[in-house]
Amino acid sequence: MNINGKLHRTIWFENSIVKIIDQTKLPHQFIIKDLKTVQDSINAIKIMEVRGAPLIGVTAAYGLVLSIIENNDYSFLKKSSENLIASRPTAINLKWAVDRMMKKLSGINSNEILKIATEEAKAIADEDINFCKNIGLNGLKIIEKIAEKKKGVVNILTHCNAGWLATIDWGTATSPIYHAHKKGIKVHVWVDETRPRNQGANLTSYELNEEGIPNTIIADNTGGILMQRDQVDMCIVGTDRTLSNGDVCNKIGTYLKALAAKDNNVPFYVALPSSTIDWNINDHKKIFIEERNPEELSHIEGLDKDNKLKKILIYPQKSKSLNLAFDVTPAKYVTGLITEKGVCEASEQGLKELFK
Ligand code: MRU
């Protein structure tokens, strides 16, 4: 998608270096950062220079390429794969991508392994773009129906950033919105700020602005009253892990938005590539929910009056805080899952009919 009118992907491989857009600096600074070692990839995932389920999967795949460049020894590669998987625990794409790479590389001799690993990491990235594009085309049909009925601007609420910055291109939740905009359908997006890391304000609003899509940032608790006032026609969010029973684990706060949507008869859709489905788990209590540094809550970063990035404390110094990064929305609150293969019911049967 566009930044300053120039097309970008979120990650690419050039001259043995992985290039990323450093998302910790957006929206105030656009910085392309080099990852040269597997440890650089692990750090980038941990501190969220890259984030979003599909993008951390691809970063991990390229992390294995960097591992091979550093040390072409299988035991080093194995250790790298374990460290990459441990770098963020909730989004399943990370493990999915590492497992896919390791399966592809098993038994490959050391002369060929770098070439095959590089090709496979690129294949995962290209496949994700294709998946996201198709998610967009499938979700577009839903927006078209709402637009036809409403005959006015379609107001869509989204949480966190499930945009192109969270994937390689197009995004998941935003892809139907981009496709609708390109088709001339009038859309407006309510962007949940998404505390504490503000992915909505810092990333979703930023990328929608760059594509010329009208959007308004709201505090995370504003969605409910907007739904009561009929100012939300649909919600679309992403997911970090979709359980085999259709429950969806996504950024903290998604669950409360789904409850408000149910109470107000607002359709609540979840957009996902199949790489986000965890076929092995159907009980949300078995998912490890990442708990991040409480400093992400107690401190906030922004531009000071001299246009310099500055971090400040906003909580009482003695207060404790708890920073759970994700929650789970039970399938019964999800109107449908928008996938690369089509839209299905959020249920085991719905998923199986599409994918098995
Ligand atoms: O903590 P983050 O920013 O990595 O969380 C991202 C999300 O929760 C997204 O909604 C999810 O990964 C889907 S991205 C297409």
DSSP for 215-241? EEEE-TT-HHHHHHTT--SEEEE--SE
Nearest CA to 21 out of 48, 51, 49, 41 is that of 49
Amino acid 276: pLDDT:
96
* Residue 307 banded pLDDT, cuts 50, 70, 90: very high
Spacing, Cα 52 to ligand 1 middle (Å): 4
User: Shortest CA distance to 94 belongs to which of 127, 63, 122, 54?
Assistant: 54
Give residue 248 CA to ligand 1 midpoint distance, Å: 12
Classified as helix, coil or strand, 55 is helix
pLDDT surpassing 90 at residue 140: yes
C-beta separation of 139 from 338 below 8 A: yes
Query: Around 162, how many Cα atoms within 13 Å sit in the side-chain half-sphere?
Result: 33
Atom of ligand 1 nearest to the CA of 56: 4
User: What's the pTM value of the predicted model, to 2 decimals?
Assistant: 0.97
Mean pLDDT of the region 202-224: 97
Active site residues: 240
Give the model confidence (pLDDT) of 188-209 as tens digits: 999 999 999 999 999 999 999 9
Ligand 1 atom nearest residue 272's Cα: 15
What residue's CA is closest to ligand 1, atom 8? 251
Give the whole-angstrom CA distance, residue 161 versus residue 171: 9
CA 76 to chain CA mean position, Å: 29
Could you give the CA distance from residue 352 to residue 356 in angstroms, rounded to a whole number? 5
**4: confidence class by pLDDT, cuts 50, 70, 90:** confident
Q: pLDDT tens digit string along 244-267?
A: 999 999 999 999 999 999 999 999
Give me the pLDDT at residue 89, please: 93
Give dist(CA 65, CA 81) in Å, integer.
11
- Confidence class for position 44, pLDDT limits 50, 70, 90: very high
Å from CA of 108 to ligand 1 middle:
33
Considering the chain, what percentage of its residues have pLDDT values greater than 90?
Answer: 97
- Using CA atoms, how far apart are residues 206 and 3, in angstroms rounded to an integer? 9
Pocket-forming residues, ligand 1, beta carbon under 6 Å: 51-54, 91, 160, 162, 166-167, 172, 199, 238-240, 250-251, 325
pLDDT digits (tens, 9 = 90+) for 51-83: 999 999 999 999 999 999 999 999 999 999 999
Q: Whose CA is nearest to atom 5 of ligand 1?
A: 52
Provide the residue type at 212 as one letter: G
